[in-house]
Amino acid sequence: MIEGLAQYALLAVIAVITIVVVAAFSKKLGVAAPLILVVVGVAGSFLPGLPATFAIPSDVILVGLLPPILYAAAINVPIVDFRRNFSTISALSVLLVVATAFGIGALLFVIFPDLNFAAAVALGAVVSPTDAVAATSLGKRLGLPPRLVTILEGESLVNDATALVLLRSAIAATAGVVSFWGVIGDFAYAVAVAIAVGLLVGVLSVFLRSKLRDPVLDILISFAVPFIAYIPAEELRASGVLAVVIAGLYAGHASAKRFTPQARINERLNWRTAQFVLENGVFLLMGLQINGIIGSVNRDPDQFPVVTALLVGLLVTVAVVVLRFLFVGPLLLFLRRRFKRKERSHQRFGRALERLRSLTTLDERQRIGQRRAEAAYQRRDTDLTKLRSEGLGWRGGVVLSWAGMRGVVTLAAAQSLPDDIPYRAQLILIAFTVAVVTLLVQGGTLPLLIRLTGIGGVDREGDRRELAALLDEMSSAGVQALENPELEIPGGGQIDPAVVERVRADTLLTSEAAWERAEHGAGDEALVHSPHQQYRSLRREVLEAERAALLEAQAAGSYDSRILSRAQAMLDFEQARIEQIDNPSGS
């Protein structure tokens, strides 16, 4: 009989195998893997051999799993897109969370006679944060507009912090140790300190990692950053979750300038793997706990049986969906009016800048001010152009409203409710019902809703042209560097013109290949006969032949293993470069 740590190790192995199998089949089924894993977990919770009281302590999720999950998401969120949509993200992740917490709290206060209002608001805070894992995974695959995906990701990154801080304040209020203004002050303090801690950790970690040249040490530091940001912030009674998000946003933004290309490749690969395992694993764990939750309700002496708690959970689910729709509609109207005000302000800014340009005599201080004004005007103009081309509209509003699924944070937060709170077991089951129903119903029908609304997704042809134009700029800068008359090799001396021409051709190769894709389209037969496609086909044949020779040498054992490893790495990088030219979007 397997017992103790061996039992949990076996469960972990089974969980990883289950995640891999489900993820592989989910792509063929067109269903997000988290949705299937929840169902598998629920079914697995009733299998013999699993403890009937199987439960994951809330701290394991909130402290052990949530920080790396949020950090992995934050480093991949473009900070420019986050800034452009900050008002929408902050409204959904702060105002909507507060409105949902108090709205659901009022509903539960009426239903449960022995529950005080502060405790009811606590559960409202539990069910208020959304989990965008399933929504964004579906959205990206189905081609949702990038702005909508950014809003969903940004909301899910920040609203956990709001909900957990509000939950902490509501629990304190149940004991009568905090006032309304105390809650406001606690929230402001938690946010301010979390931002400071997150920025400090982000800056220090980026500085340290930029000095490291060992990829193993670099990744180890990267894996530690979420906890380095989370733990001090929580010790200071701030939001550890928000500190992790800020640190991740900063690290992701700074990586382009401060990290080596290899460090960025390693970080993407390692965090993508960790994110995949953690995100899918928590949904499986979420389903596995249902049997234990139901058992705790059956053991509770209060007069609310399982069926009643499930019905209340369905009622709360309807309420959170309705509240989100009621909030998103006015929010879109507000954003539309705000955008028009920004356009008028931008026009006034442009006229003022024109008057500044017309001045013929400017001192040095005025010229510096003009350059700053030009940069600010260009940035605002780009922002407005992007927002105008990616307007949400009613279709985006419907999808945004329906994509408010709840997830594992809701269940973990519910399990952190105090033991002495009335109806604790029933409240946990209610939270579980909200999370599972929103995941399965809203997540399962989201693809159909996207098709019915006909919301415009990614313009792949436009993306190809934009990528080609960007590569043109990059290639031009590279070719310009080759035209430097004082160009020398590192050891001194002039460079052979033939070598310069070879580097020039390689520099232009990627840009020219991108324009071929933009003009002919991916998969078009005309592209097959293009010179660069022929080059890549021949190069792949050469690489395959070289790889076969390497495998023969490896089998014969005629070379030292470290030499074979180096040759293998060189082949892998070259093949990856060719494949990236073939498929620059990574799709």
For residue 87, what are the CA distances in angstroms to 94, 96, 104, 160, 335?
10, 12, 24, 17, 8
pLDDT at 581: 58
Q: Tell me how far apart the alpha carbons of residues 90 and 372 are, in angstroms, rounded to a whole number.
A: 28
Q: Are residues 232 and 252 in the same domain?
A: yes
Which residue has tokens 């017309």? 358
Residue 31 is classified by DSSP as S
Q: Tell me how far apart the alpha carbons of residues 37 and 409 are, in angstroms, rounded to a whole number.
A: 16
Last residue of a domain, one of 522, 549, 569: 522
**Nearest to 244, CA basis, from 67, 61, 94:** 67
Residue 50 is classified by DSSP as S
Q: Is residue 294 part of a domain?
A: no
Residue 421 is classified by DSSP as S
Q: Tell me how far apart the alpha carbons of residues 299 and 181 are, in angstroms, rounded to a whole number.
A: 39
Q: Are residues 558 and 441 in the same domain?
A: no
- Helix (H) / strand (E) containing 159: helix 146-174
Domain extent, residue 511, equals: 459-522
Q: Is residue 288 part of a domain?
A: no
Q: Are residues 139 and 169 in the same domain?
A: yes
Q: Are residues 562 and 469 in the same domain?
A: no
In the chain, the amino acid numbered 279 is E
Other Cβ atoms closer than 10 A to 117: 15
Which residue has tokens 């070259």? 574
In the chain, the amino acid numbered 374 is E
Q: Are residues 325 and 354 in the same domain?
A: no
Q: Is residue 448 part of a domain?
A: yes
Q: Are residues 411 and 535 in the same domain?
A: no
- Helix (H) / strand (E) containing 206: helix 180-211
Q: Are residues 103 and 67 in the same domain?
A: yes
Q: Are residues 373 and 509 in the same domain?
A: no
Q: Tell me how far apart the alpha carbons of residues 443 and 488 are, in angstroms, rounded to a whole number.
A: 59
pLDDT at 525: 52
Whether the Cβ atoms of residue 100 and residue 127 lie closer than 8 Å to each other = yes
Domain count of the fold of the chain: 4
Structure token pair of residue 99? 């409105």
Whether the Cβ atoms of residue 191 and residue 239 lie closer than 8 Å to each other = yes
Last residue of a domain, one of 413, 434, 454: 454
Answering whether pTM is above 0.85, one says no
CA pseudo-torsion sign 35, 41, 43, 44: positive
Last residue of a domain, one of 477, 497, 522: 522
Side-chain-side CA neighbours of 361 within 13 Å: the count stands at: 0
Q: Tell me how far apart the alpha carbons of residues 325 and 104 are, in angstroms, rounded to a whole number.
A: 15
pLDDT at 136: 64
CA terminus-to-terminus distance, the chain? 46
Q: Is residue 466 part of a domain?
A: yes
Q: Is residue 28 part of a domain?
A: no
Q: Is residue 3 part of a domain?
A: no
Burial of 122 (0-12, 13-18, 19+ CB in 10 A): buried
Q: Are residues 88 and 208 in the same domain?
A: yes
Q: Tell me how far apart the alpha carbons of residues 16 and 408 are, in angstroms, rounded to a whole number.
A: 18
Q: Is residue 213 part of a domain?
A: yes
Q: Is residue 5 part of a domain?
A: no
pLDDT at 586: 47
Residue 494 is classified by DSSP as B
- The CATH number assigned to the domain holding 448 equals 1.20.1530.20
**Nearest to 289, CA basis, from 53, 37, 18:** 53
Q: Are residues 378 and 394 in the same domain?
A: no
Q: Are residues 395 and 499 in the same domain?
A: no
pLDDT at 543: 73
pLDDT at 585: 47
Q: What is the pLDDT tens value at each position of the chain, 587 positions in all?
A: 455 567 667 778 888 898 888 888 877 777 778 888 888 888 887 777 666 566 777 788 888 888 998 898 888 888 888 888 888 899 999 999 999 999 999 999 998 888 888 888 888 999 999 886 666 666 666 667 778 888 888 888 888 888 888 888 888 877 666 566 677 888 888 889 999 999 999 999 999 998 887 888 888 999 999 999 999 999 998 889 999 999 999 998 888 788 877 788 788 889 988 888 888 888 888 888 888 888 888 776 556 788 888 999 999 999 999 999 999 999 988 888 888 888 888 888 888 888 877 777 777 777 777 788 888 888 888 778 777 777 677 888 888 899 888 887 888 888 888 877 888 888 888 998 998 899 888 888 888 888 888 776 555 666 666 666 766 666 677 667 666 666 665 555 566 677 667 677 767 766 776 676 666 655 545 555 556 666 666 667 777 777 787 777 777 766 666 667 767 777 777 776 766 655 554 44
Q: Are residues 344 and 327 in the same domain?
A: no
pLDDT at 524: 47
